[in-house]
Structure 1
Amino acid sequence: EWHLSHDKLVGYMQALAQASDRVVLQEYARTYEGRPLLVLLITSPENHRNLETIQAEHLALTDPERSPKLDLSTMPAVVYQGFSIHGNEPSGANAAPLVAYHLAAGQSDEVRRLLDEVVILLDPSFNPDGLQRFSTWANMHKSKNLVSDVQSREFDEVWPRGRTNHYWFDLNRDWLPSQHPESQGRLRIFHHWKPNILTDHHEMGSDRTFFFQPGIPSRTNPITPPENQTLTARIGTYHAAALDQIGSLYYSEESYDDFYYGKGSSYPDVNGGIGILFEQASSRGHLRDTDHGPMSFAFTIRNQVRTALSTLQAAREMRTDLLDYQRRFFLTAREAAAKHAVQAYVFSEPEDPARVVRFIELLQRHDIEVYHLGEPWQGPSGSYTPADAYIVPMQQPQFRLIRGIFERQTEFRDSLFYDVSTWTLPLAFDLQHDPVPKSAFRPEMLGEAITNPPALLPRSNLSPARYAYLIDWRDYHAPAVLHALLKEELRCKVATQAFTQDGASYPPGTLLLPLQNQPLDPASIHALLGSLAERYAVRVHAVGTGQSDRGVDLGSPTF
């Protein structure tokens, strides 16, 4: 009758975990608004008693040195089910408690066999802040007598709507850049388990029906093995059968693509699993007129429940095929890497080491091995030295994902994209980087492996300024420095034109912090800015005059 708010969803899952020996609840992160992100580990009590062993053996499938010796006949499959990463697509999150209850309380032989052979990671809400925002809107505009007219205010959610997280970021584009706490927490869960299947439950336009993958066959990332799409299509037959039983309309192999690895339905494809996108026509409220007749919120939930369960049926019945595919995915990655024309990627940014550190953190979130550069190397973009350069070898389990992150793919079988059409992350970080061709690669290029991202080394000591400080906006952490200065109510300006001071060139965007007419005295400003420069490794320059050598002066109205 009502849209579940996130707090009620959490309360239900907590009660379910307390009542069932099949369910263990874990909090894996907090949103910006402080809401918990939860995952329910659901499997048989026997499997729970051996969960660490099951997890370790499952991860061994990704290790070509160990995987050939593993016995798949008794190994459980792992399925990660995620709901409503877009908060205003709520049928998924509202289906989650029904799916969880069925698994926790079901007494049929079918459920018991499923729990014996599958470990389920159930995330009831990928986007708690967005879900809370939308549920509030839908519930506050619900009528006692439901209004289905599409002109009703219930269906006209005000901006910024509930699709995004607190900072209005689309979390279903963040699996690859992984900049937000929701995404970073999800990646920890993902790589802790390396699921065989990940389901991503969405909604689409109200006059559609129900979509499940595969998507458009010609619009698949060329790095994805063809067998991935074959297995996706086999799983699709289970969804079709489940929806046939209740007479729901559906379609597949249309509308959606599998190009960008930063989505929940495509990220598993480059990690040895099968990603599945579900798109349910949205009621956008409680009851809505559509081209197919009135559509209730309950109807949309039912389709999500049916396909969540059909996925689990497919996982159980295709278990050994999925496990064997995962094993071969990483075995063939090693073989393909050895033959690949590129044997490594090097990158560096000596002018702004913070960008390098953050990029290494990103790579490690994706379970990618990074090394210090072991010897100097000259690439097409410039020189690289062991002092400040790093190298990612291709011969490692994440070979295909490394390609997906570093390659500049410009040719595709089908050039139509759903939305994101570029994703070379070193370019996003503006790093100097180059591929190392097979003819140039030497094992000696691999220095010490990086277990933790390198620490940010402070810049040279900041001298006290007589007139003002100039802060280089090109540095990765310059916004953090500006934020700290504004919190102290210091007045800053920004250059809109280039200029030169003491022989140094400053581009547009350079921040100007004058010493005069500030709430802090010059000594306090120097101490504050010095500590910030040390903490964030940002370039700060002390100047003693407002007159520039060339270009605008510091008092120019163009600041």
Structure 2
Amino acid sequence: MALAGLISLSTGLLGGCGGGEGPGPVSGQAAAGSREQAAAVTSNCPPLQATPVFQGAVPKPESVLGFALGSREVSSAESDRFLQAVDGSSARVVTGVAATSVEGRPLRYAIVGREANVSAMGLQRLQDAVRKLRDPATSAAEAAALAASTPAILWISANVHGNEESGTDAALRVLHELADRQDCDAARILDNSVVVILPIQNPDGREADTRRNAYGFDMNRDWFARTQPETDGKLELLRQYPPLLFIDAHEMGQKKYFFPPNADPVYHEVPDRALAWINGLYAPALAAEFRRQKIAFFTGATYDLYAAEYGDSVPTIGFHAAGMTFEKHNGDAIATRLREQYVAMWSSLSAAAAQRQRLLGEWRLSQLQARDQGQAGLLDPNIVQDDAKSLHQVVPALAVRHYFFPDDPLRRRELAQLVRRLQRMDVQVWRLSAPLQVPDYRPYGAAPRGVTLPAGSYWVPMAQRQKHWIQAMLHEDPYIPTSYSYDVSAWSNPLLLNVSGGSSGAVLSPQASLASAQAAPAWAAPAAPPRIGLLELPGTAGFESAGAMRYLFEKAWSLPYTFLTPDTLLAGLDGIDVLVVPDGSAKETLQKLGSRGQRALADWVRAGGRYVGYQRGAELAVGVGVSTAVLKASGTATSGALVRIRLDGSSPLAAGVATAGSSAATAWIMYDDDPEMTPGLGTAAATFPAPDTADFHVSGLKTGVEELAGSAAIADEAVGNGRCVVFSFDPNFRGWAEGTQRILWNAVLGSNPALASVAAATTPDAARQAAVQSAQRAAQALPDLGRPIRIVVRSSDADATRTLLQGHGAEFQESRRGGRTVFLIANRDGLSGEEHPFAHELAHELRQRVTPLAVRMP
């Protein structure tokens, strides 16, 4: 602490928590015994127990908003107005705009700290200090001095889900108090940190009172992909002000308050020190304060430190921060929600401030250790974190020192996307300037072999401080520590992008130079695109899936389209050449269309229209009789795995998919326990390989995937003069799956097959009608439970699982597949796992009694 900071705190201790502005970053001399001093200061001025003392220089919220915080939820505009009012009245605060939302709203943030630290010069000094602290080339002596003299950057973010509002209101209270208070409790935070507050991450969703943004994206699943402008701008601000602590405040359907420790699974590359801070510093501090204030709480939920897509996992893996999700029951009054969110935020800031120098020193060591692990080719081991009974997958003793990606003319756009994503998380990417012999090259999904990589290949060495992030993005297998996952179990970016590449554990000395910064790659615009219609099916899944297609058409592909609903579809499809039908409620759509609308849609296809549907969009195609694909519920337990499929190389759907130097046309799909499909009278344009073949490979949980062997992933069928292409999976999954977006592009814009499904085209009407009816009977047997929660257990555990479900009064369907039993729990409102009133409680109880094979929540 700076001398003035110590005087401030001492004055507070001796004279009732007074104090003034410190001169800036803390001095190394005064911080010599900072850990002991911090403990003493905390014991004499416990967080949240001092009487707040306000200077009165900053206007109270009610004078700006016209109401007191906690009397009702603030709007996005009101939050913005309050940030600007505080900025205008306090030298401790500066504000800015991190991004602009899809609908044009600003993502305003505030930075609050001592005046010297948040001035233009102070912020530049802070950024320079943090950059040096993280740089392995900085000497130990200089790093120690920086740890002693640099404020910690602590983040509070909220409202990434637009209908989870209270974190915003609590963050505004924290901002007001740090901007105006002068007591010892506030001084501890101000003297030791700079706090970045992003009160609203999803202003469009807040205004619409929806979880998702205007494109239907759940932006707490968008962190690594950065498809949405809100996410992208937020991450650029994080790079500018790298966090030591990152709080992501949410709301949920369960009662009580949640904070870490998290339940299993935890990703093996989560930095050890960050996990120790979460579990050993912040969690005990939060628990102690919640007990003192008699606030009910629970820990040990999967909110989620595994997949690198969240507001806790990405700051932790990508920045070595303590990333924490907080969840407050959404059924309480706003005053209660605000207060408990505020208590959690303030307690965390206080804990970090009291240990500032130690944490900064360990933060640097964490990044040095990552560099050293990469140099040695070491991967972090898996652990059992909470209530898992044993490890599902042990991280193998496999040296990984390098990743390589040969230049591929067919994949240049996807490869550029991969390089750009890495660079924009401060990963050093190099290009070989001479050929390189690699004795143990391990291509994705293939056996190791010796190769000579050509000049121009991209090289990503693991020996850098972003080693954990590199492995999280480029791995072939995530080595999940449990047999279940809250959301997806795989997210490898090379597989999602379907680029060729691989790893090596050899000690190599490549001739290479740093790759230049990669600009955002663009899709090549078609010369004469067809007239496209996009049909949004009813339900939450329909909103999300159609929203992802709207994003793809508008922002990625730059293609004009006509937006349709079942009601507008009844007016006809004049002027439409291709109809794209994503996921949603097929059964409700069939009811809305009625026999007249269904017949009109079928007639449009037979007259020459092209129908492209996926998931329940495929089910709708069967329902109206333009597809004879047979769909049945799967018994897999994958929880969002990446599964390789084999494409028919003669199909126009495979154009641009085959890798350079290979006649094989394969792609990795995000398989999410989707229905099993056989093509009926159509052609299987893509199939699932058998487990004993070279093309079979799964990244992530793969229980039951062998049952898909030989079934169709894509069916292509001639229908009169028209064509129907249906996918069993989502080729545009969350905007992540750019490898299969290429196949979708071909389906929408590509040519018809030269001999497309000749059998289907020449089948007698009676035989075709029989095939249609058979497919429709199978589709009618598919579960109709909304967006069900899926639990898969060993059949020996079925009785215990059933008893738990009955105890919660759940509506569910049960089916047995070999040695597995699949339970689908009705979720007709499309609630997420967080929003659901008992989903996480059920998952926790289940793990206490059995070892589930899969627990999949929307």
Tell me the TM-score normalized by structure 1: 0.76
Cα distance change, pair 495–359 in 1 and its aligned pair in 2 (3 A) = farther
Of residues 325, 330, 334 in structure 1, which corresponds to 2:367? 330
Question: How far apart, in 1, do the equivalents of 2:370 and 2:226 lie?
Answer: 24
**Aligned match for 1:126, one of 193, 196, 201:** 201
Distance 1:166 1:556 in 2: 45
Counting aligned pairs with the same residue, the percent is: 26
Change (3 A) 1:426 1:105: same
The secondary structure found in structure 2 opposite 1:87 is coil
- Structure showing greater radius of gyration is 2
1:373-522 aligned within 5 A: 373-376=432-435, 379=441, 381=443, 386=454, 389-409=457-477, 411-438=479-506, 441-444=508-511, 446-453=512-519, 483-484=559-560, 491-492=577-578, 494=610
Q: Deviations over 1:388-431 (max 9, x none)?
A: 64222212221110011111335343333222211111111111
Distance in structure 1 (CA, Å) of the matches to 2:156 and 2:334: 21
Match 2:165 to one of 56, 69, 90: 90
- Give the letter for the 1:56 counterpart: D
Name the CA shift for 1:210/1:46 in 2 (closer, same or farther; >3 Å).
Answer: same
Amino acid at match of 2:355: M
* In 2: Cα distance, 1:415 partner to 1:86 partner: 28
Deviation track 1:506-553 (CA, whole Å, cap 9, x = no partner) reads: 96799xxxxxxxxxxxxxxxxxxxxxxxxx9x999x99x999377669
Deviation at 1:436? Answer: 2.5
Aligned to 1:173: 221
Residue equivalent to 1:33: 103
Q: Which of residues 259, 262, 268 is equivalent to 2:315? A: 268
Equivalent pairs, count = 480
Partner amino acid for 1:249? A
State the match for 1:223 in structure 2.
Answer: 269
Report what 1:10 is aligned to.
80
Say which of 325, 340, 346 aligns to 2:404: 346
Name the counterpart of 2:126.
54
Is the 2:101–2:203 Cα contact (8 Å) retained in structure 1? yes
Q: Distance in 1 between matches of 2:520 and 2:514?
A: 12
Alignment of 1:141-156 (within 5 A): none
Q: How far apart are the structure 2 equivalents of 1:457 and 1:30? A: 23
Distance in 1 (CA, whole Å) between partners of 2:102 and 2:655 is 38
Partner of 1:102: 177
Amino acid at match of 1:52: Q
Tell me the amino acid that sits aligned with residue 509 of structure 2: R
Residues 448/83 of structure 1: CA separation in 2 closer, same or farther (3 Å cut):
closer
Task: Find out whether 1:21 has 2:91 as its counterpart.
Answer: yes
Deviation per residue, 1:477-527 (Å, 9 max, x gap) = 89855724879x78456587989699x9796799xxxxxxxxxxxxxxxxx
Alignment gaps of 5+ in structure 1: 135-161, 284-294, 470-475, 511-535
Cα separation, 2, equivalents of 1:547 and 1:198: 52
Q: 1:184 aligns with which of 232, 242, 245?
A: 232
Give the residue type in structure 2 aligned to 1:548: A
Deviation, structure 1 residue 350:
2.0
Give secondary structure in 1 for the equivalent of 2:136. Answer: coil
Paired residues for 1:193-212 under 5 Å: 193-206=241-254, 208-212=255-259
What is residue 296 of structure 1 aligned with on the other side?
A: 333
1:334–1:397 Cα contact (<8 Å) kept: yes
3-state SS in 2 of match to 1:351: helix
Deviation at 1:380, TM superposition (A): 5.1
TM-score, normalised relative to structure 2:
0.51
Residue 297 of structure 1 and its aligned partner are, at CA, apart by 2.1
Q: CA deviation at 1:83?
A: 0.8
Partner secondary structure for residue 443 of structure 1: coil
Deviation at 1:35, TM superposition (A): 0.7
Question: Per the alignment, in what secondary structure is the counterpart of residue 359 of structure 1?
Answer: helix
Contact 1:499–1:549 under 8 Å retained in 2: no
1:548 aligns with 2:754: yes
User: Conserved in 1, the CA contact under 8 Å of 2:655 and 2:746?
Assistant: no
**Cα–Cα, structure 1 residues 458 and 423, in superposed 2: closer, same or farther, change >3 Å?**
closer
| SS at structure 1 position matched to 2:477 | coil
| 2:137 pairs with 1:65 | yes
Would you say the 8 A contact 1:41–1:121 is kept in 2? yes
Q: Which has the higher contact order (CA 8 A, sep 6+)?
A: 1
Code of the aligned partner of 2:267: N
Mapped partners of 1:10, 1:256: distance in 2: 28
The verdict on how the C-alpha distance between 1:509 and 1:326 changes in structure 2, with shifts beyond 3 A counting, is farther
Mapped to 1, the partners of 2:655 and 2:343 lie a distance apart of 63
> Contact between 2:417 and 2:521, CA under 8 Å: does it hold in 1?
no
Q: What CA distance in whole angstroms lies between the structure 1 residues aligned with 2:480 and 2:752?
A: 53
Contact 2:428 2:514 in 1 (8 A): no
Give 3-state SS (helix, strand or coil) of 1:2's partner.
coil
Letter in 1 for 2:154: V
- Measured against aligned partners, the alpha-carbon deviations of 1:290-313 in whole angstroms (never above 9, x if no partner) come to xxxxx4221111000111111110
Query: Which residue identity is paired with 1:451?
Result: A
Question: Residues of 2 paired with 1:209 and 1:501: CA distance?
Answer: 54
Distance 1:93 1:384, change over 3 A: farther
Amino acid at match of 1:252: T
Deviations 1:313-372 (A, max 9, x none): 011101112101210011111211111022221224421322122222222221212222
2:296 to 227, 231, 249: 249
The match for 1:525 is none
**Cα distance in 1, alignment partners of residues 752 and 489 from structure 2:** 45
Counterpart of 1:280 in structure 2 is 328
Mark the CA change 1:27 to 1:401 in structure 2 (over 3 Å): closer, same or farther: same
1:357 aligns with 2:416: yes
SS of the counterpart of 1:202? Answer: strand
> Contact 2:553 / 2:560 at 8 angstroms: preserved in 1?
no
One-letter amino acid matched to 2:282: I
Contact 2:265 2:302 in 1 (8 A): no
Separation in structure 1 between the aligned mates of residue 562 and residue 456 of structure 2, nearest angstrom? 32
Q: Partner letter of residue 109 of structure 2?
A: V
Deviations 1:64-113 (A, max 9, x none): 11152221222111101101211111111121211111111112133234
The SS at the match of 1:264 is coil
**Equivalent-residue separation in structure 1 for 2:433 and 2:303 (angstroms):** 43
1:81 touches 1:308 (CA, 8 Å); kept in 2? yes
Deviations 1:36-83 (A, max 9, x none): 001101011121232211121012121111152221222111101101
Counterpart secondary structure, 1:328: helix
| Structure 1 CA distance for aligned equivalents of residues 610 and 251 of structure 2 | 43
